[in-house]
Amino acid sequence: MVPTPVKIIIAGGFGAGKTTMVGSVSEIPPLTTEEVLTEASAGIDDLSGVERKTTTTVALDFGRITISPRHVLYLFGTPGQARFWFMWDDLARGAIGTVVLVDTRRLETSFAAIDFFERRKIPFVVAVNCFDNAPRYTADEIREALVVPDRVPIVMCDARDRDSSKLALIRLVKHAMTVVPARV
């Protein structure tokens, strides 16, 4: 039996941990398009809260995880900077859903991703990446701050941890199955 491919998007703001999440959970060496931040991005990329960040995704990240003999998830991580958002439409085409990764140190960077997937009616979950020394909030506080409807699941995760990332993906797949009508 050939497994069914399932496309998942990992989106979020600049520095939220998208590349890390794809890498932590992928069963294959992930494809990344990380480039070193240079002075050319000074004044363009806001490093507030992520001052130690030295690289950035300039196209996409790609990984794969088999979740059952019948299903394989293909993960596509989006670039977080506004200048690369033009790629999001193409990356999102055919996806069953999205993990919107959120950094509580920079919640405002999450609004664009949430808005993008809400407007396109693509199911998503909000995964709060629990960075060391980052402010901690309850799911209800996150929901209120991001103005996320009750129907959207909010999960806490650590993008560096394979099991934690897998749980966020599983929550997304379960959520997408409840909101996307079965195809006949």
**Which domains are present in the chain?**
4-32+58-179 (3.40.50.300)
- Determine the Cα–Cα distance for residues 81 and 13; give it in Å rounded to an integer: 7
Two structure tokens written together for 137: 């909030």
pTM: 0.85
At a CB cut-off of 8 Å and minimum separation 6, what does 105 contact?
49, 50, 131, 134, 135
Residues in the chain, pLDDT under 70: 33-59, 83, 180-184
The pLDDT value given to residue 30: 82
The pLDDT value given to residue 102: 96
- Determine the Cα–Cα distance for residues 15 and 9; give it in Å rounded to an integer: 16
